[in-house]
């Protein structure tokens, strides 16, 4: 099987799996316990926290471990909004965020916060000018994702950070679930004040996420219990999950597959362009490891099933919305022509893929186009 659905989840690396088993054997104690076994577990937890902070180029930042990207985004949006409510109630986000951000915004609107939603162009790009127009002195939070999970658009978050800092006292949060390990992002210098990372997107384990905060940021808890994670996220912390999360981050930081991903993306794009009537989404603004394309007058599930039957696993535009049977909110926002909306598929690369697999994708793509009765634009090809 050729696996090209790495934006949905990645295959856990063997090093991570081995380390997880070993950590569970040796560090099974509750890190909040006062006995020696508990102290040993706590020491491993704090070493993991420091390693992650160092990887984010911000040794003094705060790392809050969560159950995944969704919880980390919820904590960021709701926790930072409440922590800064005394300064104002205005928040800015975009219409193409992950549902874990958008639904948190809906919750805050019901609690009296005022939310402005930035629009995007057909490439999925948010306008810095619109951000500048919408931001106010009483804006307390801006949340804009780094790389879109459905079509791969890269947002200019450094430029956004500059606008935010120059025009407000707002905290800038960025969902970096799809970008960490593939594109540069850190809490150092000009950039976000808070970022979300998910382990299972970087060959780690499901059930592990984190929210990283610049030193000095105040955040309110959104769950309540025994005061773990400095009172910000309550519940017994899984030390093995935290330790192997740090390991996964170290491994992906040292692999540097970005050039390979970019080459593979171009191989597919150049091949697709030989055919009539196939759209490439975010072609000029997309991340190296994500490529979304759309077929007219068919459902994406038809393409997904055909590729699966030919040994290739990929998905429709988002694993989170792939079973709904409707065009996702992102596809609606980029104004895809109506007869293409149902026919979007997403190809996403990971460290285990090879160029041979990409060439095989192109071969299967030929078969699919033949099945659809679609010819090449150049009959000599």
CATH 3.40.640.10 location in the chain: 14-254
CATH 3.90.1150.10 location in the chain: 2-7+256-372
Please check the confidence at residue 54 and state whether its pLDDT lies above 90.
yes
Mean pLDDT of 76-96: 98
Please check the confidence at residue 322 and state whether its pLDDT lies above 70.
no
Please check the confidence at residue 52 and state whether its pLDDT lies above 60.
yes
Q: Kindly report the CA angle at 48 between 45 and 49, in degrees rounded to 5?
A: 90
pLDDT of 101 reads 98
- Per-position DSSP letters for 16-35, written without gaps between them: HHHHHHHHHHH--S-TT-SS
Who has greater pLDDT, 187 or 226? 187
Provide the percentage of residues in the chain whose pLDDT is more than 90: 88
Reported confidence tier of residue 377, pLDDT bands at 50, 70, 90: low
CA 116 to CA 119: how far, in whole Å? Answer: 10
CA 53 to CA 47: how far, in whole Å? Answer: 10
Question: In this structure, are strands 114-118 and 90-94 parallel, antiparallel, or unpaired?
Answer: parallel
Please check the confidence at residue 262 and state whether its pLDDT lies above 90.
yes
Give the pLDDT confidence of 23-37 residue by residue, as tens digits.
999 999 999 999 999
Mean pLDDT of 164-173: 97
Please check the confidence at residue 89 and state whether its pLDDT lies above 80.
yes
Question: Domain 14-254, what architecture?
Answer: 3-Layer(aba) Sandwich (3.40)
Please check the confidence at residue 189 and state whether its pLDDT lies above 70.
yes
Catalytic residue among 207, 320, 357, 368: 320
pLDDT of 324 reads 56
pLDDT of 376 reads 67
pLDDT of 224 reads 84
Who has greater pLDDT, 71 or 255? 71
Q: What is the pTM for the complete model shown?
A: 0.94
Which residue has tokens 């078969």? 367
Residue 8 and residue 348 in contact, taking contact as beta carbons nearer than 8 Å: yes
Reported confidence tier of residue 233, pLDDT bands at 50, 70, 90: confident
Residue 320 known to be catalytic: yes
Give the pLDDT confidence of 276-300 residue by residue, as tens digits.
889 999 999 999 999 999 999 999 9
pLDDT of 323 reads 57
CATH number of this structure's domain 2-7+256-372: 3.90.1150.10
Question: E strands, 171-310, where?
Answer: 171-175, 194-198, 209-213, 279-281, 290-294
């Amino acid at each position: 099987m050729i696996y090209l659905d790495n934006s949905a989840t990645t295959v856990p690396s063997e090093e991570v799996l081995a380390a997880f088993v070993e950590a569970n054997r040796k560090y099974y104690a509750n890190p909040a316990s006062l006995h020696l076994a508990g102290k040993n577990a706590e020491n491993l937890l704090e070493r993991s926290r420091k390693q992650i902070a160092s990887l984010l180029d911000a040794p003094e930042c705060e790392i809050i471990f969560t159950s995944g990207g969704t919880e980390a985004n919820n904590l960021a949006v709701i926790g930072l909004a409440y922590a800064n409510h005394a300064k104002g109630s205005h928040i800015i986000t975009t219409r193409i965020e992950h549902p874990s951000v958008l639904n948190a915004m809906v919750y805050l609107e019901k609690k009296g916060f005022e939310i402005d939603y930035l629009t995007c162009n057909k490439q999925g790009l948010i306008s810095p000018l619109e951000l500048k127009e919408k931001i106010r002195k009483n804006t307390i939070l801006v949340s804009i994702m780094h790389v879109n999970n459905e079509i791969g658009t890269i947002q200019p978050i450094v430029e956004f950070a500059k606008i935010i800092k120059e025009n407000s006292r707002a905290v800038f949060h960025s969902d970096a679930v799809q970008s960490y390990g593939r594109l540069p992002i850190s809490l150092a210098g000009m950039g976000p004040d808070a970022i979300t990372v998910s382990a299972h997107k970087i060959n780690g384990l499901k059930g592990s996420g984190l929210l990283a905060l610049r030193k000095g940021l105040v955040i309110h808890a959104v769950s309540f219990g025994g005061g773990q994670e400095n009172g910000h996220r309550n519940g017994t912390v899984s030390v093995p999950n935290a330790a192997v999360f740090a390991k996964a981050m170290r491994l992906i930081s040292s692999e540097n597959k970005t050039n390979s991903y970019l080459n593979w993306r171009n191989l597919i794009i150049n091949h697709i362009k030989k055919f009539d009537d196939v759209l490439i989404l975010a072609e000029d603004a997309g991340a190296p490891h994500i490529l979304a394309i759309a077929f007219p007058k068919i459902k994406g599930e038809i393409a997904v099933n055909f590729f699966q039957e030919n040994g290739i696993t990929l998905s429709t535009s988002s694993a989170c919305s792939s079973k709904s049977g409707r065009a996702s909110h992102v596809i609606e926002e980029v104004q895809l022509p109506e007869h293409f909306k149902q026919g979007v598929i997403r190809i996403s690369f990971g460290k285990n893929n090879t160029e041979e697999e990409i060439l095989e994708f192109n071969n299967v793509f030929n078969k699919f186009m033949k099945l659809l009765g679609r010819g090449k634009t150049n009959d000599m090809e």
